[in-house]
Amino acid sequence: MDSVSNQETFLDSAAYRQKFMEQDALSRHLGISLDEVRPGYAKATLVVTPTLLNGVGVTHGGAVFTLADIVLAAASNSHGTSALGLNVNISYMKATRTGETLTAIAREEKMTRKIGFYRMEVRDSTQDLVAVAEGMVYRK
């Protein structure tokens, strides 16, 4: 196996995902599960609990944003180079409530030596679009 294949196998290993999440206290606190990581791609889920609701009884935008942000972080760091967020823009499309399972996917759209650009989608259990985001990272 060449080094790229070895890296891809490592990145999608349960041990890698566990280590990544151990280093992200907020995601652990919220109950986010990082389900898949490969170069330029990540998938995570979050079950909406009563503690994740805002003042009007729907999923807090901050919880949805954090889910999108964790897949951005995982996808942008998946190449083995540290990446830090420069900008994230999110649009909310649908409100959700307690018991809903949200799934976020980040896909790399463009990567240069110093910058990465990603599109994130958050969907509910019926595959309806809950939020769409774009993120740019600086690659150290």
Q: Which whole number is the average pLDDT over 72-97?
A: 95
* pLDDT for residue 8: 45
Neighbour-count burial of 119, counting CB atoms closer than 10 A to its CB (0-12 exposed, 13-18 middle, 19+ buried):
middle
* Ordered structural domains, the chain, with CATH: 3-139 (3.10.129.10)
The whole-number average pLDDT for the span 80-89 is: 94
Average pLDDT over residues 126-136: 98
Residues listed for the chain: 140
Q: In sequence order, what are the residues at sequence separation of 6 or more whose Cβ sits closer than 8 angstroms to the Cβ of residue 52?
A: 30, 46, 59, 60, 63, 98
Mean pLDDT, rounded, of the chain? 90
Taking residues 57-72, report their average pLDDT: 97
CA torsion through residues 123, 70, 84, 79, sign: negative
Q: Is the pLDDT of residue 2 over 60?
A: no
Q: Which of 91, 79, 67, 68 is nearest to 115 (CA)?
A: 79
Cα(113)–Cα(71) distance, rounded to whole angstroms?
20
Mean pLDDT of 56-84: 95
Supply the pTM of this predicted model.
0.89
pLDDT range class, residue 1, cuts 50, 70, 90: very low
Residue 11 has pLDDT above 70, yes or no: no
For residues 133 and 140, the answer to whether their CB atoms sit within 8 Å is: no
Does residue 21 register a pLDDT over 70?
yes
**Rounded Cα–Cα distance for residues 57 and 95 (Å):** 10
